[in-house]
Structure 1
């Protein structure tokens, strides 16, 4: 025991003298004699940290905490080491553990503030530094108190810069969109070129420029920009939407549908993706799928006249003239309530065109399950579904009710066919 203590004391002396290499050697000797000596691990960890051996320091702190898990100073030292290793979340966890053991520990609040600042939680970081400053002030530790105040001042300056940058970007994009709406596409394009030259990694700028390029007719260049936007930010829903629009324009309906599916995986409630996917389905003659997507839009935005227009067009191609008239009428009602008389009259004109159109048999398409839509009577469809569910009418009715809820406004036969299709697809 005397030998062990002798090596430990020599290690402390070397550390105090700044000779951290020799201090580590002395603590090594201690731990060879007694591998349970917690203080030797802790002090060796601090020396290793001073030498820049952050990984070695972390190993020592971990070992010390395994032996004595209630030591706040070791959590704090490990937290500082994790900060050096850019493990900000780990540093935050150590600060929080220290505060569980001692809720009045200024150094723990300071560590917490630093970690939160690096994680981008600036408001929470300020609160932590304020708490630390108050405790240091009560302890009459003016130097550390001032350090916390300086951190708060710096963070507030960061917040102001971030707000200014956001406002500048937001205003810039607003002006670009205004130019697009006025048809000043070349000017908008030049503005975005300048912004991308300033910051080549601005995903939003690439997304907007892709949109402008598509309107100018430069479809391949537009796709290249939108690809770049998604490379920089894989969660950019706007870029997926713009790319879907471009792909529809060049006839790549499968690619457009894939883009919409990608967007919906990120946000299942992203309405624009249903609209563009519906457009792609419609263009590729999958009218029943287009109707399903437009119906989803209408379910979420029942006051969107354009959604009714889209569904009416798909229903026309599906030879559902009554459904198309109903949708145009819904659009007309919305325009009437808004006092948009020009659009209202246009919707009424669409109704007249459909009413004057001769009723034909539904389009036959071997790839379309609904090709038998009008040739099968409602009674036959009902009997078919009831047979599929083992003769239980209440189950069949329930499946049809689900289809009605999901896709409002469709013909009765359509709901029974939809239930049959879903049931057979699940088998």
Structure 2
């Protein structure tokens, strides 16, 4: 029956029936005077009924039965605090913390007692320890309460003695260092989690952002690292280490141009403070990034000088390929190396709304001379080679002629046709040739996208081409930026 009475007492206490709870605990103790938890629970009920001395007596009995009952020590300490016996309250807090050094409420209680005794430094130290443990337990509300108590106890900053709104900042250096040590030991995620909780306390410190940025870099979260270093530098603009590591993160992300600027700034700051070792490290990273860009430009130039187009089939040995008109309509056309002008059929001309501008003679592959209506099309795109406002003929057979590919050397292979850029020669007025706009995309954008697709140029081109088809009329940079944004969004960067 004693357990049943005990459970009833717990339930009545939970419901706020204090006298009913005490009655049930009395019944338990008449049956079993050695039921330590019943003394403890009755002590809680007596404390709530303002019978402080009676509560202390029950806590005494509970501790006689179990000398390691930290909850009973805590209850008795709280009761003694309520009676104004600060020394006894502190003694009980000391005892329970000796049993469990990580019991945050014990430090909080001891801090309150020290505060009432006027021992401000001891109170701050205990609130600080309690806040540290609450932080580890992710109890942000209690942690923030401890920090608020510390702010109230710390003396005002003499530099702001005339301000009535001065709130001294809590020094969270120990917390930051503890989290950073987790990262050094390889617990990057745990370190970031601790930094995140500190930020939920609205604590702003350049060291916090800087060290969290290091952890994000270790995990390969380059954009998050860059953001943290940005925030650190907004607080401390001359933090050389933040520039250096932001350069490392930008290198990892593929933004070599910005990385070079960061390494240069870091080197200057390191030099100003006489740190020759880090100065040299920053210079070395700058040189590496510059060397990479030089090689990348050479590789990019080689790639953009060569275009490949798939052969769909052949007619009489002549390749037939897909040609995109006005960034919208795709037609099959013969690749006629002997024709001087590109020719489209009347049906194609109607679809493209071509307006005729006159009549011209042209020679086709078999040597026949024919007269054709002439007109202009907005753009023709073959595998990345784009010509704008091209003069075309309207005839019976769709032919891709020399006025389109005249600036390229053609190699017809088994399955593809290769167009290689010939040395630049002045274009005639009738050709009105425009260079491939893709070449004009910034290296920064190209490096970013290539990084996101694992260096696969064909994949990058395919994704950009999809955006061109879906969103005609945009600038070339817009298409590349849109692909980069979509990839980063899908991977959880935004």
TM-score by length of 2: 0.31
Higher relative contact order (CA 8 A, sep 6+): 2
Q: Which has the higher helix share?
A: 1
Q: Which has the higher strand share?
A: 2
TM-score scaled by length of structure 1: 0.36
